[in-house]
Structure 1
Amino acid sequence: MTLHETIGSDLGSKQADPRLSGIIKLAILAVGGQGGGVLTGWIEDVARAQGYAAQATSVAGVSQRTGATVYYVEMAPQTPGDPVPVFSLMPAPGDVDIMITAEMMEAGRSIIRGFVTPDRTVLITSTHRALAVSEKMVPGDGIASSDEVMAAAEIAARRVIAADFDALAIRNGSVISASLFGALAGAGVLPFPREAFEAAIRAGGKGAEASLRAFAAAYQVAENPTPEAAPVADAKSEPKVQGPARLMAEWDKLVARVAALPAPVAELALPGLRKVVDFQDLRYGAEYLDHLGTVLSRDDAAHGWVLAREAAKYIANALAYDDIIRVADLKTRARRFERIRSEMRLKDANVLQLTEFFHPRAEEIVGMFPARLGAKVESDPKWMARLTRWFDKGRRLRTDSLPAFVTLHILGGMKGWRRRTLRHAQEQAHLARWLETALAETARNYDLAVELVRCRRLIKGYSDTHVRGYAKFDRVLAATARIATRDDAADWCRRLREAALMDEEGKALDGAIRTIESFT
């Protein structure tokens, strides 16, 4: 007979509640900053205050969101004079009563590891996402599907309690450990009264009131789960466009041009217009609409305006490229500092120290030169080597200090200079070639033209990331040109683009290109 069975049989005659018949085994998966240790301590304190013997252990995971810390608590009812139970140090697959995960993918990992089973495990999880390094590394959309995890949880667990407990905690001025503790109490899976849980929080002292608010909100969600129970993040609204009357009159004219477009195109053209005007100026916005008008002239309602709709998005992205001016501008905006303060949950008494990391390459420096001079310098290996020695060093600027902030603020205000730079000339030339290549296919293969427009998705970011995107873009278009006359050319272009987005090194793209080479 196992220890679990022995204690269960001994207590069976003393307690009618089946939840008290034996060792209760509870595991928690959480990453740094989510308060897994605090949550574990609260659970252990509640158990002991209610006359239970309890033991808590933890095994740290790998850093940088590639693994969570596993916290494990075992508890069993104990009366004075009874021997102290011998508890396990780690959870075993198929032997966990309660599984708490502080993020959606951790719920998936707990299922994969066998900690969640349909015969016994109650799974309590937050539905929000804290992206893992492996998800962020993918050039395309590497975010794992939360829906798939939830579907697996419904099958794997005896009962699932899921809500965005992180958002709920933030709304109440606390952290997710407090809301998960409330969900545990509200779920009724531990034989302790609500007051005992709240007493454990109060005993912690600091931040107790905020923690109790988050606890109460999560308790209600877990006790009365409904589709509306999980808090929903507020929708982000576009900032209102404001400015001098003369400029607002010009802006209204541009908006009127957008309103005259076909509805499917206008839906994306207005955000695109906002983006390029914010990037440069109103004249740049007019140029954006001129480019879009060129595409519209080659499109029609019979195709549902798909080509122009896609172009509305990707032309805006191409025009609003990331250069030194753009990066400096974004890093010194008031909204960014407000967002950071909000995410860090800073109070008026706190001091924010913000360090920016810069590593400009010689190409970024030359890109700021006048177009003709920059082209000359860029073609000279000796000058490029000198610039690399002078500038290719990691720099750290404290933007909470006046000198660094003023430096970046001045750089960010150089929009008037941008049109004269080498980088702008290069981006404009690339935009023209890209659109010309795509539009040349509209008469022969409309679907291929659409896929070629979508290939602009490959180009993004700054510095090395931007260079890699350009290289992949050129390779995809070159490979597509080899099969452009085939009936399935559009499908192959899509496959090449998706392969290019699968990994940073381009290994999947190499394989796709070799496949094309095998039949051309």
Structure 2
Amino acid sequence: PAARAPARGAAPTPPGPRARAPGPGAGRRAARRAAKRTAAHVRPHLPTGSLPDPATGPITDRFGVYFTGVGGTGVVTANRVIASAAQAAGLAVSGLDQTGLSQKAGAVVSHLLLSPKGPGGGEGAPTVGAEGADLYLSGDILQAAAAKHLATVHPGRTLAVVDVAVTPTAAMLQRDVAAPDEAVMRAAVAERVGDDRALFLDSKRIAEQVFANQLLANIVLLGAAFQAGGLPLPLAELEKAMGRTGKVAADNRAAFAWGRWAAHDLAAVEAALATTAAPAAEASTPSIFDPSAGAVETAGPLVAAAGLPVDLPGELRELLTRRVAQAVDYQSAARARKFLGLVASAAARDDAANGWALTRAVAESWFKLLTYKDEYEVARLHLLADHDATAAELGIEGPYKVTYHLHPPTLRRMGLKHKLPASRPYAIAFHGLRAARRLRGTPLDLWGLDPDRRHERALIKEYEGLVTAALADGRDYAGLVVLAESAQEIKGYGPIKEAAIERWRARVAQLAPGTAGRST
């Protein structure tokens, strides 16, 4: 859920967490990992020489800062530095932090509006609207190049400062989707902001190699934005704001200086980085979509017994093994075998000459339909979220409380129009629902009585029957692939998903006349 907007003239604050003792060992794992990585790390030195002051004037009108990125890289913390410095400089400040489930790979958007105090100062919505960004910051080029974010850019006025690294999205992690080409994403940003108004740098690499701490990457971006003239705030106030960030104050100031140098003389920064070896890479933070070790162990024999073609490419076999393990975690080995059954039928019609496109299409669509997000799955995924990482990204030290905001479909149908916030009751319910997920689809599945759940189960039957019939009727290969891929268009929840299902049925009726039906 989005954070509540602060009062006019107040800096944005992180959402949700309040004082409460965390569980045993909360936060200690991250601290041990950080200590282990930094113990033997030798930092490179800043380039020698002096930095020129950027040519900027005071803020005389509403100034919008739009910051996008992913959880775990300090987006909110960086924007709080700007807000604190702006307040100290006598500006009115308002904003909104949209963090959602900002565990690793979760999207984060931070809006910040600065304006002179006085009549009209700080008035209006606390968000950066269409073409309202004067400074466009992004800790992830994939987010930066997205049309919904680029809509905030004012061509010819906005300055964009973007990290070129790509953090895999949930779709990439769950469906092994490749990231778009970096050159294409750079061009999308550069064309939108206008000539010479986009600065691209690898701030994560700088943060990792200098500090062995990726959380400082967005402070590096702030320094680059300041030096490029896109952050018209007094340097003294920015440094004081970073001085109020607790134990990491010195590192924040240093990261800001590295960002300034990267904008001023990137070659000098590269030379400085080359004087020391990069720190050993840390094992990536597990995604909530990664299958458990037990499920992976179960998946191997299931895939081996599925009768898949022996010449199936290794990377495709690995993908299928991952999907099988995820299906085991989702419910059981029985659901995993159901997944493999249809995939094996498609693979029998496929071959290397066609690049195994049909097998991939069936695997992805079939997996998507079989693992729909119901109450059991939402509970399971919530329990996998790393709240320690979220707290660290928000700059929270010490105890915290997690509050969930949920809108159960059953209560929505009874007329409830808003989400219900709760903490411990939901956490207890999550554990019960996760344990009960094997009841899904059985006569004891009370949640399955909901119309949304009935639609999802009907869709599984429809797709299985559709593909099975199409594989048997001698249809041309290209037509089979299009038909198999069609279910990827079904997205959303509730009425949105119902409408998507109807559109899919209408398309299927054109692709495979006589085969589309409505199961109940």
1:357 to 369, 393, 406: 406
2:66 to 3, 17, 30: 30
Structure with the larger helix share:
1
How far does residue 430 in structure 1 lie from its aligned partner after superposition? Answer: 2.3
Answer whether contact 1:182 1:217 (CA < 8 A) is retained: yes
d(CA) in 1 for partners of 2:296, 2:65: 52
Residue number in structure 1 paired with 2:19: none
Give, as a single letter, the amino acid of the residue that structure 1 aligns with 2:137.
A
Residue number in structure 1 paired with 2:378: 327
| Residue 250 of structure 2 corresponds to residue 209 of structure 1 | yes
1:410-443, Cα deviation, whole Å (9 max, x unpaired): 12221332241564853542232232354356x3
Answer whether contact 2:406 2:420 (CA < 8 A) is retained: yes
Task: For 1:87-486, list aligned pairs within 5 A.
Answer: 100-103=135-138, 104=144, 112-115=154-157, 124-126=161-163, 146-152=185-191, 156-157=195-196, 160-164=199-203, 168=207, 172=213, 178-184=219-225, 200-201=240-241, 204=244, 206=246, 208-225=249-266, 241-243=292-294, 250-257=298-305, 260=310, 262-263=312-313, 265-331=316-382, 333-347=383-397, 349-361=398-410, 388-389=413-414, 394=418, 396-398=420-422, 400-401=423-424, 403-421=425-443, 423=454, 426-439=458-471, 443-481=474-512
Higher relative contact order (CA 8 A, sep 6+): 2
How far does residue 108 in structure 1 lie from its aligned partner after superposition? Answer: 5.2
Give, as a single letter, the amino acid of the residue that structure 2 aligns with 1:436.
T
Change (3 A) 1:254 1:237: farther
Give, as a single letter, the amino acid of the residue that structure 2 aligns with 1:269.
L
Answer whether contact 2:330 2:371 (CA < 8 A) is retained: yes
Change (3 A) 1:174 1:200: farther
- Secondary structure at the counterpart of residue 461 of structure 2: helix
- Secondary structure at the counterpart of residue 325 of structure 1: helix
Give, as a single letter, the amino acid of the residue that structure 2 aligns with 1:315.
W
Bigger mean CA deviation after superposition, 172-181 or 468-477: 172-181
Give, as a single letter, the amino acid of the residue that structure 2 aligns with 1:222.
A
Q: CA RMSD in A?
A: 5.3
Q: TM-score, normalised by structure 1?
A: 0.57
- Secondary structure at the counterpart of residue 156 of structure 1: coil
1:132-178, Cα deviation, whole Å (9 max, x unpaired): xxxxxxxxx9x997333344279611773544479959975867774
d(CA) in 2 for partners of 1:107, 1:393: 28
d(CA) in 2 for partners of 1:411, 1:190: 48
Answer whether contact 2:223 2:256 (CA < 8 A) is retained: yes
Corresponding pairs, count: 385
- Secondary structure at the counterpart of residue 82 of structure 2: helix
Answer whether contact 2:365 2:484 (CA < 8 A) is retained: yes
d(CA) in 2 for partners of 1:446, 1:108: 39
Give, as a single letter, the amino acid of the residue that structure 2 aligns with 1:148.
A
How far does residue 56 in structure 1 lie from its aligned partner after superposition? Answer: 7.2
d(CA) in 1 for partners of 2:385, 2:76: 24
Residue number in structure 2 paired with 1:76: none
Change (3 A) 1:435 1:396: same
Change (3 A) 1:408 1:261: farther
d(CA) in 2 for partners of 1:56, 1:161: 31
Answer whether contact 1:254 1:286 (CA < 8 A) is retained: yes
1:217-256, Cα deviation, whole Å (9 max, x unpaired): 434533553698899998566757434xxx8875431243
**Structure 2 unmatched runs, 5+:** 1-49, 68-74, 99-107, 117-121, 123-133, 139-143, 168-177, 449-453, 516-520
- Secondary structure at the counterpart of residue 406 of structure 2: strand
d(CA) in 2 for partners of 1:341, 1:20: 35
Change (3 A) 1:285 1:101: same
How far does residue 308 in structure 1 lie from its aligned partner after superposition? Answer: 1.1
Change (3 A) 1:218 1:260: farther
How far does residue 281 in structure 1 lie from its aligned partner after superposition? Answer: 1.4
Change (3 A) 1:396 1:67: closer
Identity %: 19
Q: TM-score, normalised by structure 2?
A: 0.57
Answer whether contact 1:36 1:177 (CA < 8 A) is retained: no
Change (3 A) 1:281 1:393: same
Change (3 A) 1:392 1:478: farther
Give, as a single letter, the amino acid of the residue that structure 2 aligns with 1:350.
P
Answer whether contact 1:101 1:126 (CA < 8 A) is retained: no
How far does residue 66 in structure 1 lie from its aligned partner after superposition? Answer: 10
